[in-house]
A and B are shown apart, each in its own frame.
Chain A
Amino acid sequence: MTTHPDPALRETPGALPADPAEPRTAAVVQQAGPADDWTPGVDTVPRAAGTPDELQPYAELGLRDDEYERIRHILDRRPTQSELAMYSIMWSEHCSYKSSKVHLRQFGEKAPPSDRLLAGIGENAGVVQVSDELAVTFKVESHNHPSFVEPYQGAATGVGGIVRDILAMGARPVAVMDPLRFGAADHPDTARVLPGVVAGVGGYGNCLGLPNIGGEVVFDPCYQGNPLVNALCLGVLPVDRLQKKEAAGPGNVVVLMGAKTGRDGIGGVSVLASATFDEGSEQRRPSVQVGDPFTEKLLIEACLELYDAELVVGIQDLGGAGLTCALTETAAAAGTGMRVWLERVPLREPSMEPHEILASESQERMLLVVAPDKLDAVLKTAEKWGVLATAIGEVTPPAPDGQPGRLLITWRDQVVVDVPPGSLVDDGPVYARPMREPADLILLQADRAETLPRPSNPEALRETVLRMIASPNLADKTWVTEQYDRYVLGNTVLAQPEDSGVIRIDERTGLGVALSVDGNGRYARLDPYHGTKLALAEAYRNVAVTGAKPIAVTNCLNFGSPEDPGVMWQFAEAVRGLADGCLELGIPVTGGNVSFYNQTNAAAIHPTPVVGVLGVLDNVADRVPMGFVPRAGGDHDQLFLLGETHVELSGSEWAWVTHEHLGGIPPQVDLGRERQLAELLAAAARVGHLSSAHDLSDGGLAQSLVESCLRRGVGARVAVPEHFAGGSMPFVFLFSESAGRALVSVPRGHEKAFTALCAEHGVPWEFIGVTDPASGALEVHDQFRIGLDELRAAHTATLPRLFGDAAAVSAAEATGDAPAEAADAAVAPDAAVEAAVPPVSEPVAADEPETATDAAPADAAAADAPAEAGSAAADAPAEAAAAAPASDAPGVPTDGPEAASGPAQAGPAGSATAADDPDEQAPAADQR
């Protein structure tokens, strides 16, 4: 043992492979360890070879006996402490996909042919070409466990991590989305987790300058101890700027760029992501990383400048598993070796030991491989952006016999790691874990929601509508989304609450992409195979309703413990469903992430595959929004329901909200039909047949009608088709969750051409009513009439009531007049939806603000301001007919422009039985 007064700055003796360029550091301070920085007893390779019997804590690090033996076999000795740390991380579920690999292969095997795919599964993120010059890359990842332990930082670094994945592909990140799932909305711990997660997502994304364009907020008791925080990022790159991760070219310099390395996140992967929560969870806080979005912003700008100047040979982000993962993956990908001087890594805490440096998950770091003659230029660019960049090693050649090179890491002249990098990346264990259909599934599936008592009179139906739109999962999410910047970068064409986020990626041509992420844990619980297809179908449909053509899929598979055969069966079924579904739709999976161990003690979450679909719009000006359009002079659009409605209530939001029921089998899914619907919508959007289009999913037609009305404050009158008349059938019409459906409004004069187009595409259609800009209400003929004010009050009050009514605070403080806020609610199109309306009681909101109304832009909410909420209600009857547009327009909803409806069958398709098992869910790991 020797002591080094200033080890970090010491010249490295030449005993080992050549010292590359002097350790150099751009910007900021040069790292210099303090004098007391001496680490006694570093476990070196020679020491490991000489002490074969020393006991090692492999079990504590999550390695099994056979895995540890395998490491000893690979190295032909016991691993050093650093090596053991590296193997434990790289062979963890999170990094190795050891339980999921055998299933995930299907994504490749069943992939439909695509000539758009420039990079696919196995890369940091899939890259899809969208024009001759441009490509996009997108991926969704989980950050579930950290977000439960420390909501703000967990969520923030989740955003940061996925952004770096996108950046590593050579793309400029241009948007983010966040599918979030929490425990029961009124559970006390949800009030801790949700505000923290939302603030973390916003705090990081806003500061990074990325618009947040959509996502989900879902509540279910199954997520109580395991919230799901998934994050998606979209990036854009010129086709020829695609970056590689290979550490190619022996002699090239390995540069670490970005933040200093600290003790944060050590063991995050192995300890957090691959273990089940128990009572000790609160002690794991040090395992959560801390984010610094400002540094990440600089890192983005610096990387993009390096790409454009063609200064890097390879690049990899540092995420879970930190330096260990980046070093081994880049070397293994190229088949080269690498020589790293670990003491050159700039440290935040000088007392860190080698294994800690290798395992640290400090954020905002990238690993670059740079040709020696470009090093100066790279360091200069880093300096310009104020980012630390340090040469820490060099690429070494493969062995003379053609075998891949070795990763050799020294710490102050002592060899602490000497391993074949591929053994960590590619030779990890792979398990075909036992699978078994959960024993309770049969019973669960037999308990159908179709047998539950349903509302069967107008009063009950009216009450159900108001109750459903106020339920936490269906309620307005403005409380969450207004904490996110959706405008930055100036290319956001559509954002939440629209069905998809739409981003313009080429200002010159108007080329853009639409993105949606969806999942439904209840459906997947009842039938993981079809439930996953339903998630795919919904995301696909959400993209399609904007008029975009869906072209690629990403996914985040959130499940319980893979060691539970029931969970493993769910996982296998979900993967099979997604792979089959993508094949049927003809769009490839380009990448994704697996999150296992979302489980607290024995209780797993519902299996929750979250599916993201990306579509292309040749011109974003053609995009179709979800809101009904205000028309001057009493003009109306005609409303059509596309697709078929069956009696499908099992797994529905209604069954859950009104009966706390989960059972039966989920709605049928026919991806052929989804594809026809998508093609119809794209064709109709292109020729201007659509004023609005809105997907039908959770909450059925009623939810879609309300959302389309409230978006821009335009009322509607709807008639229940004849075949849904009587008893509880109007309820089924409004609340069934049959898949493959959309609600569209068609401008007058277009209806014949539109229905002809429907026929051409084989899509069933039904004329169900008209928009009514002047009425200020949603009316369902012979059933109920609800003023938009009342709808809005019910829809928007829930989240502020649960999580704090911020609007009330500011209004109270403001010197302006009190009604100001109410006005706000009634007015501006977007603002309206967002304003948090005061609790309920006072019918305040809508009526007064004349001033506000005329201030709003032309199409603002003129319609709902009117006020006559109550008074108008009475004369409703006559109106349905009277209101119908003149001439050839249908008189009453039951028959459409020409006759009645297309296919129209209402037959109860619901089906019955079976069961499934209830609980599995747990935290996750990432695929890649």
Chain B
Amino acid sequence: MTARIGVVTFPGSLDDGDAARAVRIAGAEPVRLWHGDPQLHGVDAVVLPGGFSYGDYLRCGAIARFAPVMETIVDAARGGLPVLGICNGFQILCEAHLLPGALTRNQHLHFRNRDQILRIEAVGTAWTNAFQPGQEVLIPVKNGEGCYVADPATLDRLEAEGRVVARYLGGNPNGSQRDIAAITNEAGNVVGIMPHPEHAVEALTGPSLDGLGFFTSVLKHLVGAPA
């Protein structure tokens, strides 16, 4: 049976269509979820896509975090539902306290879009189990506020617990502390990533197919996971 993966649309979400396409290419069925509807419609996993939810005129993700659908997602995530937050989705996960730390203005103060090499460091999560430890992947990054920050104790804990999912290689595009590009929660079902795996799923439109691994990972995870 095909896995059903929800993709949330907030007002101002931009990469929701791309995330849905990536889900489809990975072999699952994308289900569009609406910010104002608290129902998850029985999806097996959720993607919070990139964009500028509510314009992000306040702190990025600070308003989206209070959307009705997020209340349900936060509860479900605590119960083990796989959730992937990409870019703005990562920011929302931090604002919702599903992940520690915060994403602040790029250190150089510019929006930056480039093809970025990442090293996958945690392959035990719901979203990265298809990768090899230490595997290097090429995935577009594009953000204005992607500088990951947390207090030293939190950073140390993330490192110690193996919760740094991916790091920037070959140049840190936004000044993130310890080159962190992606992290996970303690259970490994919630992952936040600043670069955009959904933009690296087709040879024609992406710099690689490396992004597909995030979406096939969750399918693997769902097969193995107890329903």
Give the B-binding residues of A (Cβ under 8 A): 199, 202-203, 206-209, 292-295, 297-298, 385-386, 481-493, 504, 507, 620-621, 804, 806-807, 809-811, 813-816, 820-821, 823-824, 827-831, 834-835, 849, 851-852, 854-857
Interface Cβ pair total, 8 Å cutoff: 175
Told that A507-B21, A835-B114 touch, could you supply 16 new A-B pairs with CB distance under 8 A?
A: A207-B52, A209-B15, A294-B11, A294-B12, A488-B142, A489-B17, A490-B202, A813-B107, A815-B178, A816-B172, A820-B170, A823-B170, A823-B171, A824-B171, A827-B117, A828-B207
CB distance from A362 to the nearest CB of B (A): 16
Interface assignment of B14: CB less than 8 Å from any CB of chain A: yes
Query: Given A206, A821, A855, which contacts B111 in the complex, CB threshold below 8 Å?
Result: A206
Sampled A-B contacts (7; CB under 8 Å): A199-B110, A806-B112, A820-B172, A831-B171, A855-B138, A856-B138, A857-B138
Residues in B whose Cβ lies below 8 Å from that of A298: 11-12
A-side contacts of B18, CB under 8 Å: 487-490
Q: How far is the CB of B18 from chain A (nearest CB, A)?
A: 4
The contact string, 1 if C-beta is below 8 Å from chain A, for chain B 1-21, is 000000000011011011001
> Which of B50, B57, B169 has a CB less than 8 Å from the CB of A852?
B169
Given A483-B110, A807-B108: A504 in contact with B171 (beta carbons within 8 A): no
Residues of B within 8 A of A (CB): 11-12, 14-15, 17-18, 21, 50-52, 54-57, 106-117, 119, 136, 138, 140, 142, 144, 168-179, 196, 198-199, 202, 204-208, 210
Given the interface pairs A813-B175, A821-B171, the reply to whether A294 lies near B114 with Cβ below 8 Å is no
Is the Cβ of A811 less than 8 Å from the Cβ of B12?
no
Q: Which residues of A contact B110 (CB under 8 A)?
A: 199, 482-483, 806
Contact A829–B207 (Cβ < 8 Å): yes
| B166, chain A: closest CB distance, angstroms | 13
In the complex, which residues of chain A have a beta carbon less than 8 angstroms from the beta carbon of B52?
206-207, 293-294, 297
**Does A484 contact B113, Cβ atoms closer than 8 Å?**
yes
Report Cα–Cα, A820/B173, bound state, in Å.
11
Instruction: Name the residue among B110, B119, B207 with the largest chain A CB count within 10 angstroms.
Output: B110
Q: How far is the CA of A844 from the CA of B204 in the complex (A)?
A: 32
Say which residue of A207, A295, A297, A809 sits within 8 Å of B107 (CB atoms): A809
Question: A473 to B140, alpha carbons, bound, how many Å?
Answer: 27
Q: Are A292 and B55 in contact (CB under 8 A)?
A: yes
Known contacts A485-B142, A821-B171, A852-B169: A831-B17 contact under CB 8 Å: no
A292 CB contacts on chain B under 8 angstroms: 55
- Which residues of B sit under 8 angstroms from A856, Cβ to Cβ? 117, 138
- Contact indicator A490/B17 (Cβ below 8 Å): yes
Closest chain A residue to B209, Cβ basis: A857
Q: Which of B114, B204, B210 contacts A620 (CB 8 A)?
A: B204
Do A294 and B205 have beta carbons less than 8 Å apart?
no
Closest to B196 in A: A487
Q: Which of B108, B169, B206 contacts A810 (CB 8 A)?
A: B108
* Shortest beta-carbon contacts, A-B, top 6: A294-B55, A209-B14, A814-B172, A806-B108, A824-B171, A855-B136
How many Å from the CB of A447 to the closest CB on chain B?
A: 42
Most chain A Cβ neighbours within 10 Å, of B52, B172, B206:
B172
A830 to B117, CA, bound (A): 11
Q: What is the minimal beta-carbon distance from B85 to any residue of chain A, in angstroms?
A: 17
Q: Give complex CA distance A807, B50 in Å.
A: 23
Cα–Cα, bound, A507→B20 (Å)? 14
| Distance in angstroms between the alpha carbons of A338 and B204 in the assembled complex | 50
Residues of A with C-beta under 8 A to B206: 487
Bound Cα distance from A743 to B205, whole angstroms: 24
